[in-house]
Amino acid sequence: MSSTPTTPPPDEPDEPDGELREAAESPPGPQPEASSEEDPAALAERLKAQVAELEDVGRRALADADNLRKRFEREADRERRRERARVAARWLPVLDNLERALQHAEADPGLILDGVRAVRDQAVEVLAELGYPRRDEVGVPFDPALHEAVSVMMDTDAIPGTVVRVLQPGYGDGEHQLRPALVSVAAKAGQ
């Protein structure tokens, strides 16, 4: 089979010629050509036709925008369902381990405590992997972005303004927070 070499198309000229230059310099959209010889009725008809054409273009643009909005909504809904399924799938091993712990609890009730702790640790790990680490530190300075103070305790051993007890752990950091930790805070002596 023989192949014939193809020649590339000639380069476009750098300078537009006559008609192209005029088209590039004129404003976009149909322009009425004012002619001293044109009949006013013919000019009016021509302008009406241009208005009708522009209205049609506008309607089509609105329809395209509406179709795009609907498509985006469908895709966003589909993506939300996918993400929910992905997160739910991460929790299935936790549920499986809870069921195993309950099955073994009947055989040896003492093992249930160890099993529940292991499942809790697994759930905490899943939350951390999803971007919501557990916050249950004691002895750290009180931070209103991470903690919610529910009580103040007189504790002479603790530095004032630090967390002395966590009543409910928090999960997450800053803007990515499921909930703040409910804590008791050390007060200064005499308060």
3-class SS of residue 148: strand
**Coarse DSSP helix, strand, coil percentages of the chain, rounded to the nearest 5 percent:** 50, 15, 35
**Averaged pLDDT, 53-79:** 96
d(CA 130, CA 127): 5
Topology of the domain covering 132-191: Nucleotide Exchange Factor Grpe; Chain A, domain 2 (2.30.22)
Per DSSP, helices labelled H in 108-172 are: 111-129
- Taking the C-alpha atoms of residue 31 and residue 157, their distance in angstroms, rounded to an integer, is 85
Domain covering 40-130, topology: Hemagglutinin Ectodomain; Chain B (3.90.20)
The answer to whether residue 34 scores a pLDDT higher than 60 is no
Question: Residues 71-90: pLDDT tens digits?
Answer: 999 999 999 999 989 988 99
Q: Dihedrals φ, ψ of 178, to 5°?
A: -75, -45
pLDDT of residue 178 exceeding 60:
yes
Torsion of CA 111, 114, 118, 119, to 10 degrees: 60
pLDDT at 166 exceeding the cut of 60: yes
Indicate the DSSP class of residue 160.
T
Distance of alpha carbon 74 from alpha carbon 68, whole angstroms: 10
DSSP state of 109: T
126: CB partners within 8 A, 6+ apart: 90, 91, 94
Other CB atoms within a 10 A radius of the CB of residue 146 amount to 19
| Contact status, residue 165 vs residue 184, Cβ threshold 8 Å | yes
**Domain extents for the chain?**
40-130, 132-191
Q: What is the pLDDT of residue 141?
A: 95
Q: Look at residues 171, 175, 167, 174 and name the one whose alpha carbon lies nearest to residue 123.
A: 171
* 128 and 94 Cβ atoms separated by less than 8 Å: no
| pLDDT-above-90 percentage for the chain | 50
Query: Tens digits of per-residue pLDDT, 3-25?
Result: 455 555 555 545 445 444 454 45
Whole-angstrom distance, CA of residue 121 vs CA of residue 32: 76
